[in-house]
Amino acid sequence: MIQVRIDPAIKNVIDNFRLPENLGFGNIMAPIMASCSYENGKWGELEIIPYGPISMYPNAKVLHYAQEIFEGMKAYRIDGKGPFIFRPAENFLRFNRSAERMAMPHIPKDIFLQATFDLIAYCSKVVPSHSGESLYLRPFMFATEEALGIKPSEKFRFMVIASPSGSYFTSEGLSVLIERFAARAFPGGTGFAKAGGNYAASLLAAIKAKNMGYVQTLWLDGRERKYIEEMSGMNFFAVIDGALHTPLLNDSILDGITRRSIMTLAQDKGINVIERKMDIEELLKDIKAERCTEAFACGTAAIIAPINFLAEENGERFPLKNHEGKISIELREDLLALQEGRAKDPYHWVEYIEPKSI
Ligand SMILES: Cc1ncc(COP(=O)(O)O)c(C=O)c1O
């Protein structure tokens, strides 16, 4: 256990916080946040303080060179059970893999977990309670050194903020544009890291997809534009001849915790799971031949989102025959039941967080 400074001012902001009816995703912020600074080669004191603006000098390195990483996790409190958090140690490990790639210091496990757990513990009343709803947690770290030289920062700040959020899920299915031109990531780059810059690089394609009436971008590999990688914030799966196929991880794909959890759940249900390089032309043929009847995207926010159709920029569409997604809906329900503490947890993926008050 580490020493944490709890600002007494958090009592008032928590007591006065009211959850609105309509949550949306990531719009409402929890009334407190965690903060810890890194300087002279070491991490300082972890603080829990009221949520609010932070001040930085305009020459802070993050504002110029994008030395920033983040994570996304969810806490659940359904039917009076919980709050529970799902596989937080995996997010911690991925956070430090991202930190290494972006020339940032590792965060100690106890700071990462204590910050996250304390936010949930003090905000347990802020965790929404309808199925599909959750407290979305956003740990992040950014470079704060005040200097314009293109050198790794020597000062950083780690923070955790949280957002009571509604379900991200739409049952009508995603419409997905295959991105044949731009690349989000490439070999030797930062695609496997959860670095803010990767998301900035995906936004122009998101605008194009939206203007054409689609909601998601499907990224292909950065070298040949031949192999499927992932969506801008979710991993990709397709059901082909009854087996579950997903792109083999490489350094331009994010190693999703939902992806890994789904692979385990599917295998345990007797579904054949195949990780491989997935050629986009082959997949389109398989969709046309109705060998591929289902496809879905997955990630912490949406859990599993079935895909209605893939589309080319010329308007050609490849509808998934079974886009209501028998396998996707079933796996989604299995995973959500675990996360919400409604199902047995043979994998020990779910951790209970004892609520705290001040
Ligand atoms: C680029 C990208 N791929 C995949 C995912 C899914 O990862 P996870 O299941 O750990 O949320 C995310 C979201 O975190 C993401 O940003």
Give me the pLDDT at residue 144, please.
98
Whether residues 181 and 127 share a domain: the answer is: no
Please give the tally of structural domains in the chain: 2
- Tell me the per-residue pLDDT of 175-220, one tens digit each, with 9 for 90 and over: 999 999 999 999 999 999 999 999 999 999 999 999 999 999 999 9
Range of the domain at 259: 174-324
Query: Are 131 and 276 in the same domain?
Result: no
Ligand 1 mean position, distance from CA 257 (Å): 7
Pick the residue whose CA is nearest to atom 7 on ligand 1: 256
Q: Ligand 1, residues 254, 298, 332, 335: which to mutate, most atoms within 8 A of Cβ? A: 254
| 233, two tokens | 């914030």
Same domain, 158 and 183: no
Please report whether residue 239 resides in a domain: yes
Same domain membership, residue 190 and residue 155: no
- Is 358 part of any domain? no
- Residues 32 and 121 reside in one and the same domain: yes
- How far apart (Å, rounded) are the C-alpha atoms in residues 293 and 239? 6
- Cα 218 to chain centroid distance, Å, stands at 16
Task: Please name the residue that has the structure tokens 């082909």.
Answer: 240
Within this chain, do residues 115 and 23 fall inside the same structural domain, yes or no?
A: yes
Domain end: 116, 145, 165, which one?
165
**Domain end among 165, 188, 214:** 165
Residue nearest to atom 2 of ligand 1 (CA): 233
Sign of the alpha-carbon torsion through 189, 191, 196, 199: positive
Q: Is residue 46 part of a domain?
A: yes
298 domain-assigned? yes
Taking residue 162's Cβ as centre, other Cβ atoms within 10 Å add up to: 28
Verify that 13 and 134 share a domain, yes or no.
yes
Q: What share of the chain is helix, strand, coil (3-state, %, to 5)?
A: 25, 30, 45
Residue 340 falls inside a structural domain? no
Q: Is 128 exposed, middle or buried (0-12, 13-18, 19+ CB in 10 A)?
A: buried
Q: Tell me: cis bond preceding 83? Omega within 30 of 0 counts.
A: yes
- Residue 120: name the closest of 132, 108, 138, 106 by CA: 138
Residue pLDDT tens, the chain, 358 long: 688 999 999 999 999 999 998 899 999 999 999 999 999 999 999 999 999 999 999 999 999 999 999 999 999 998 888 899 999 999 999 999 999 999 999 999 999 999 999 999 999 999 999 888 999 999 999 999 999 999 999 999 999 999 999 987 666 799 999 999 999 999 999 999 999 999 999 999 999 999 999 999 999 999 999 999 999 999 999 999 999 999 999 999 999 999 999 999 999 999 999 999 999 999 999 999 999 999 999 999 999 999 999 999 999 999 999 877 789 999 999 999 999 999 999 999 999 999 999 8
Measuring from atom 6 of ligand 1, which residue has the nearest CA?
Answer: 299
Does residue 356 lie within any of the structural domains? no
Residues in the chain: 358
pTM for this predicted structure: 0.97
CB neighbour list of residue 138: distance below 8 Å, 6 or more residues apart: 70, 71, 72, 160, 161, 162, 163
Q: Which of 306, 294, 182 is nearest to 240 (CA)?
A: 294
Got the DSSP string for 19-83? --S---SS-S--SEEEEEEEETTEE--EEEEE-------TTBTHHHH--EEE--EEEE--TT---
159 and 182 housed in the same domain: no
Place of tokens 């923070």: 159
- What CA–CA distance (Å, rounded) separates 331 from 145? 45
Q: Work out which ligand 1 atom sits closest to the CA atom of 260.
A: 9
Region for residue 196 given its phi and psi (left: phi exceeds 0; alpha: psi -120 to 50; beta: otherwise): alpha
**Looking at the domain assignment, is residue 333 inside a domain?**
no
Nearest atom of ligand 1 to the alpha carbon of 259: 9
Dmax over CA atoms of the chain, in Å, equals 63
> Which residue ranges have their beta carbon within 6 Å of ligand 1?
72, 230, 233-235, 254, 256-259, 299-300
If asked whether residues 128 and 277 sit together in one domain, one would say: no
Which residue from 258, 261, 262, 303 has its CB within 8 A of the most atoms of ligand 1, so it is best to mutate? 258
Do both 67 and 178 map to the same domain? Answer: no
For residue 134, give the CATH number of its domain.
3.30.470.10
Residues whose CB falls within 8 Å of the CB of residue 8, separated by 6 or more in sequence, listed in order: 358
Q: Within this chain, do residues 103 and 178 fall inside the same structural domain, yes or no? A: no
Domain CATH code at residue 268: 3.20.10.10
Same domain, yes or no: 52 and 139: yes
How far is the centre of ligand 1, averaged over its atoms, from the C-alpha of 234 (Å)? Answer: 5
CA separation (Å) from 71 to 2, 193, 263, 299, 339?
21, 10, 21, 12, 17
d(CA 194, CA 334): 26
Domain's final residue, options 165, 194, 213: 165
For 67, list phi and psi in degrees, rounded to 5.
Answer: -80, 90
How deeply is 116 buried, as exposed, middle or buried, from its count of CB atoms within 10 A (0-12, 13-18, 19+)? buried
334 located within any domain = no
